[in-house]
Structure 1
Amino acid sequence: MNGIVPPFLLERLADHAEPAVASCAQQTLAVDGSLRTRRSASAPRPTFATTATAGAGPQRTISDAGGSTALPGRTARREGDPATGDRSVDEAYDALGATWQLLHAAFGRDSLDGAGRPLLATVHYGERYDNAFWDGERMVFGDGDGEIFGSFTAAVDVVGHELAHGLVQATVDLVYQGQSGALNESIADAVGSLVKQHLLAQTAEEADWLIGAGLFTDRVEGVALRSMAAPGTAYDDDVLGKDPQPATMAGYVVTSSDNGGVHINSGIPNHAFFLAATAIGGPAWEGAGRVWMDVLEQRAVAPDADFAAFASATVAAAAARFGADSRERAAVADAWAKVGVGLDDASTAADPAVDDETVRVERSGGLLGRVHVAEVPESALPDPERERLEELVDSGALADLPDAPPKPDAYTWRIEISQRIDITVGEGELPDDVLSLLRSILDRGDSRR
């Protein structure tokens, strides 16, 4: 189950002061958790053709769950049927068609599998469900809570993103964990953005490179879920926190949450795609998009590929399509270099924190008993924060704080820095400046359990 809204955002909303918002997020998390449990094993990789069928066209069926979580729901619109007047049904129908058109017109591909696979979707899933996902067979859309999120059929790139998980499943079938999982998410973002750009006839320079623009209501200080042009800037909100995506390997987040940070670290290959596309120029589906699609269709990487392996495959694909001395190949190679991914040293790229101390901050307790965790390389912290942290460690100020094991309904902080320090302190024992520093670090890589 691949949802467009990362679990760490939903977990923040689950603590919202407004009971209606918190309840919707909690219910969404519960549904998502149960779906992940049921789909713990990957769907079998289907066979596919690489050329479009003559006279091919999309085969869409939109179903309506009517607020339930039973799939598929009643059939609401089939291929060729007129608009129904139900906005979600008709938006889903149009967006599935836009995705099929991109694949067919730009890449000569008939649907997700290249062999005309029907495109299925269900709308009005759950009660105020705050997500949209690909379940291995179909797209599923919630209506949103109306307070933080609107309807998930409103953004064509969200539909393209989720369908792209089906494209990945039909080709390289990247394992949804760690760097291969982040690549899975990044490819879905890239395809989703291309769907919107193709629909609007935009060049790479004209596109906004935002994922999920329009999903947030006016209450949220943010423009989208993610930004491929500037990862880490899509939102900065009192409730949702700050967009945690890094743009380069210097900010790579080491975490066991969110399947190893798949929704966070996808910012790095996202930014590489943006840099390559804009350096090549023109319609992105003719440049970087064509290169990335070649890697998928030729299954040029293993399912557990890391960033370095995928980067090498894209550079090779650019050379094969455009020439070894082409500006396209140079643009792709330069893009990966700018985000800090090497082409040939996979071991270094796979573990960016090998020579870098890891800072782990955990806040636990409170009435809900939630645990908030951030694990980041120390080098990823801004200079003032890193210098202040080093000062606290070197001076012994942290080690001198009174030890406080976790207590029911009380907040405690655990601070670990590689092998140098591991302490647990009651929140009330922390000086204001130290508490502010720890909160800032937590916001940079917060995941909750």
Structure 2
Amino acid sequence: MTSWDTHTGRCTFIPPWLAERVDGPERAALDEALRAERARRGLEARSARTSTSDATAEGLAAAAAWTVHDAGSTTSLPGTPARSTGEPETGDVAVDEAAVGIEATLAMFAEVLERDSHDDAGAPVSLTVHYGSDYNNAFWDGTQLVFGDGDGRIFERFTKPVDVLAHEFSHAVVEHTAGLVYRDQSGALNESVADVFASCLKQRLLGQDAADGDWLIGEGIFTPSIRARALRDMAAPGTAYDDPELGADPQVGHMDDYVETTADNGGVHLNSGIPNKAFQLAAVAVGGRAIEGAGRIWYDALVGGDVTADADFATFAAATVAVAGEHADVVRQAWAQVGVGRATGSAAPAPQQVPTGRLRVERSGGFIGRTETAEVDLDDPALPDVRALVEQAGLAALDGSSDPTPRPDMFLYTFTVGDRAPVRVPEHLLTAGQAELAHRLLRPDG
């Protein structure tokens, strides 16, 4: 049986709310803004910049080339080139959404933050759409920005909300700056910083000040049948959706409710609501456009050298206050309002043991930050090949193994055989046998 883990072990309760349709007025306004952005920037070929030192911000945006690839519903990367810098629309909705989105994202980083692509050295950006079959995720794998088409039942295509693309690009920026380790509090910061710049892009395209933004991440990612406003709400973590199938949004927004878990690389998508709320509070208090106010402060902290790869919330908070100048007090107060400075969260508890003879498979994380689990009896006569799949996957010989370098927004798989310690394998390191075992148990009819 497959089930959604809504993490009800946390100490807050999310009350039901009257769900809104996904494609509301704000979504329509953003679609119109994207069309305007495309018209403003044009489709003409970009000319190469002559030097980094004297390039204008517009020149920096022009210098970062990009290519959108089509994976053709396979998982082979990067796929076939479908559209590159300066080329006209293709008519493929996902390809063209990715093209417009990356142009707008590159322009924001260049024109406001003076950053030349994700590496600040003009690196070409490679994107892949139509990844996998009914693939419900988007991720940055260290080389590619990758987007699935969604299953059409719960999720729309992941190129539809432009902030999803900006979120994944921002993971690349984090990798090339502070390099925040994708686990526990540093991983939650990695997720939060990506949401920060994603929301800044959305508000920039809509011409909004921070006080006017809706602070929703992934608005439009759910199909209209799902009771959801978005995937996350930075202004009110834990309220973005409440659906009979998905459950309630499990994000938290205060250190009092910090979630301790081994899933999702230590709850990076759950606990990112805490620094997300701090940024929203700071952005409104600083005033003006979010990317030009608090967004600039967060960026300066990220690149300033005081944020280490394993930074916790308190370390990052101190770095933002240090670079905030005249806004130091309001930034400090924003962090204090979410409890950072007096609580840090303790180490994750030891994993629960599973009775001998049982197999438990868990998939957590991904851009959507959900946990899906399945458990079967290895001796069940109705599943004669499961034990063979376990042997093929090599799980019986492993005990508590884990990869030290999880990748942003890629799934994390946890296999527990009998009473052995759980084995955690990031998506990009799954063997063919492990992938087959996970697919067998986690598919809807498994």
TM-score (norm 1): 0.66
Partner Cα separation in structure 2 for residue 135 and residue 8 of structure 1: 25
Q: Indicate the residue corresponding to 2:346 in structure 1.
A: 351
Show the counterpart of 2:333. Answer: 334
- Deviations 1:196-215 (Å, cap 9, x if unpaired)? 11112111011111110000
Separation in 2, partners of 1:184, 1:139: 16
The 1-side partners of 2:184 and 2:194 are apart by 15
Q: Secondary structure at the match of 1:199?
A: helix
Identity percentage of aligned residues? 52
Deviation larger for 242-251 or 110-119 = 110-119
Secondary structure of the structure 1 residue equivalent to 2:159: coil
Change (3 A) 1:340 1:59: same
CA contact (8 A) 1:307 1:350 kept: no
Question: Matched residues in 2 for 1:70 and 1:359: separation?
Answer: 37
Q: Highest relative contact order (Cα 8 Å, sep 6+), 1 or 2?
A: 2
Is the CA contact (8 Å cut-off) linking 1:362 and 1:371 kept in structure 2? Answer: no
Confirm or deny: 8 A CA contact 2:262 2:351 kept in the other structure: no
Name which of 297, 304, 311 aligns with 2:310. Answer: 304
Structure 1 pair 291/259, CA: closer, same or farther in 2 (3 Å)?
same
1:119-138 mapped onto 2 (5 Å cutoff): 119-138=125-144
RMSD of equivalent CA atoms: 3.0
User: Does 2:255 match 1:249?
Assistant: yes
In structure 2, the CA distance between the partners of 1:8 and 1:180, relative to structure 1 (3 Å rule), is: farther
Q: Secondary structure at the match of 2:211?
A: coil
Aligned to 1:96: 102
Instruction: Report whether the alignment pairs 1:234 with 2:232.
Output: no
Secondary structure in 1 aligned to 2:210? coil
1:148 Cα shift?
Answer: 0.4
In the superposition, the TM-score normalised over structure 2's length comes to: 0.66
Residues 354-394 of structure 1: CA deviation (Å, up to 9, x unaligned): xxxx89999999x9956799xxxxxxxxxxxxxxxxxxxxx
Question: Is 1:185 equivalent to 2:180 in the alignment?
Answer: no
The question of whether the paired residues in 1 share the 8 Å contact of 2:180 and 2:311 is answered with: yes
- In the alignment, the residues of structure 2 paired with residue 361 and residue 163 of structure 1 have an alpha-carbon distance, to the nearest angstrom, of 36
Segments of 4+ moved more than 6 angstroms: 49-52, 358-365, 406-409
Counterpart position of 1:81: 87
Q: Which amino acid aligns with 2:344?
A: A
Q: Distance in 2 between matches of 1:225 and 1:204?
A: 19
| 1:112 matches 2:118 | yes
d(CA) in 1 for partners of 2:307, 2:179: 10
The equivalent residue for 1:167 is: 173
User: Unmatched 5+ residue regions in structure 1?
Assistant: 1-6, 10-48, 320-325, 374-405, 410-447
Deviation string 1:326-379 (CA, Å, 9 cap, x unpaired) is 2x211110000000001xx6xx524399xxxx89999999x9956799xxxxxx
**What is aligned with 2:26?**
none
Aligned 8 A contact 1:104 1:110 in 2: yes
Q: Which of 143, 148, 169 pairs up with 1:142? A: 148
- Asked if the contact 2:101–2:165 (Cα under 8 Å) also holds between the matched residues in 1, the reply is yes
In structure 2, the partner of 1:315 is 321
Quote the residue 2:435 is aligned against. Answer: none
Aligned residue pairs: how many? 319
Letter in 1 for 2:329: A
Matches within 5 A, 1:271-286: 271-286=277-292
Instruction: Tell me how far 1:52 sits from its aligned partner.
Output: 7.8
Q: Which amino acid aligns with 2:236?
A: A
More helix by share: 1
8 A Cα contact 2:254 2:274, kept in partner = yes
Structure 1 CA distance for aligned equivalents of residues 81 and 72 of structure 2: 11
Q: Paired residue for 2:374? A: none
Unaligned runs of 5+ in 2: 7-50, 365-376, 381-440
Match of 1:295 in 2: 301
Three-state SS of the structure 2 residue aligned to 1:286 is: coil
Structure 1 counterpart of 2:158, from 136, 152, 156: 152
Which residue matches 1:260?
Answer: 266
Partner residue in 1 for 2:75: 69
- Matched to 2:65, the amino acid is Q
Note the C-alpha offset of 1:114.
1.4
| Matched-pair contact (CA < 8 Å) for 2:359–2:378 | no
In structure 2, the CA distance between the partners of 1:72 and 1:255, relative to structure 1 (3 Å rule), is same
